[in-house]
Structure 1
Amino acid sequence: MKQSPRVLGRPRHDENAKPKKDIVLETATRLFIKEGYKNISMADVAKACNVTKATIYYYYPTKGDLYTSALLAMMDQIKLSILQILEESISFKDRLEKLVEIHLSATVDIDMKNFMREATINLSEFQLKEVQASENNMYKTIEHAMQLEMELGTIRKGNATFFAHSFLALMSVGYVKDREGKRIFQSEATAAKEIIDFFWKSVEK
């Protein structure tokens, strides 16, 4: 039986292997985290994946598409982690503290501010809107939790959007370093406790 011709440029697929598109995205994300957008080329990604540049371009027509997908994947993972923690059966304050600690630990090598700055500079208007929408969805997850806890009487009544953004702004303090390049908190656990103790004073009833 004659085999159907393979679509030009389409990578060979092993049914038992991890999808090549996923491997490309995961590899590119690691490279972007380590080196930044400008310092990584599609050829670098192809080399790290041990595939041809044609394979990379088959899945991601431009570096902007690849960078956008990397950002969206990271934000989706962060959102999923946030939801899982917020649904745990412990106090809201403990959930927030756990969320901060896990988030800081998981993103210790990721400079999200720099990721977003590079996105603003290098992505198209459409790609940037996709990233911003995903970022807003992360914020909405926290905002909805704040609103629910207000209704349950756990925290005082107020503006849930303000509470959520204040919480996220405080969480970013966990990344702050002194003049010698050392973080101001000795550990993520210490940072989480200090941040939530400070935040809780502003929202407790």
Structure 2
Amino acid sequence: MARTIAKDHDQKREQILHAAAKIFATEGFDRASMAQLARECGISKANIYHYYDSKDAILFDILDTYLSGLRDVVLSADEPSLSPEDRLRSAIREILRAYQGSDYEHQVQLNALSSLSEEQQDMMRAYQRDMVRFLSDCLRGAAPEVFGDDRAKLRAVTMSIFGMLNWYYMWNSGAGAQARDDYARLVADLTLQGLHGI
């Protein structure tokens, strides 16, 4: 007879993922152990194996859940009816808001993505590419005369914006919504108007 799924299955799974993200971010994926994860979760190691058969499976689920969710939030927040500049401002703000509360997952993405199989890495990069394309589209719309057909310049500016947003948690850990919105406004002003715009 097949084992039934517990009522709190999804909640337990989410608890494991959050605890694992913290351990992987602070200890490093290679050094983290299933015993550490069990202690952090407050459950037995055997119970973790009920949900995941390996540390690699947990890593994949952390990144798949985080990046697909991030992509979905960012793309669904698009407001194409806005003026091109306001659409870009909105995109930058929504990206930074979507990062809130996910510092550990973000660090795991930066430091442990290469531990996944090539096929799994390709899946994660597809989520990232969707967000890069979206922001590039917003940038091109806000300043078509700047980019023209220069794809290298468009990519450089797009990745520079992501760089500013991606590392925000390093110097402003725990920042709330207002602080994030203020920083998003600064990044947008810097992008659209240069130093004189801030």
Number of the residue aligned with 2:191: 199
2:64, 2:124 within 8 Å by CA — same for their partners in 1? Answer: yes
Task: Give the number of equivalent residue pairs.
Answer: 183
Name whichever structure is richer in helix by fraction. 2
Is 1:134 the equivalent of 2:111?
Answer: no
CA distance in 1, matches of 2:97, 2:28: 20
TM-score (norm 2): 0.67
One-letter identity of the residue aligned with 2:109: F
TM-score (norm 1): 0.65
CA distance in 1, matches of 2:162, 2:113: 22
**SS of alignment partner, residue 61 of structure 1:** coil
Listed one character per residue, the Cα deviations across residues 95-119 of structure 1 (whole Å, up to 9, x for unaligned) are: 3223323433553662746633332
What is the identity percentage for the equivalent residue pairs of Structure 1 and Structure 2?
20
CA distance in 1, matches of 2:25, 2:98: 13
Displacement, 1:79?
0.9
CA distance in 2, matches of 1:33, 1:99: 27
Structure label with greater radius of gyration: 1
CA distance in 1, matches of 2:39, 2:107: 27
One-letter identity of the residue aligned with 2:103: I
In structure 1, runs of 5+ residues without a counterpart are 7-11
**Aligned-pair Cα RMSD in Å:** 3.6
1:158 is aligned, of 145, 149, 153, to: 149
Displacement, 1:23?
3.6
Is 1:42 the equivalent of 2:20?
Answer: no
1:170, 1:195 within 8 Å by CA — same for their partners in 2? Answer: yes
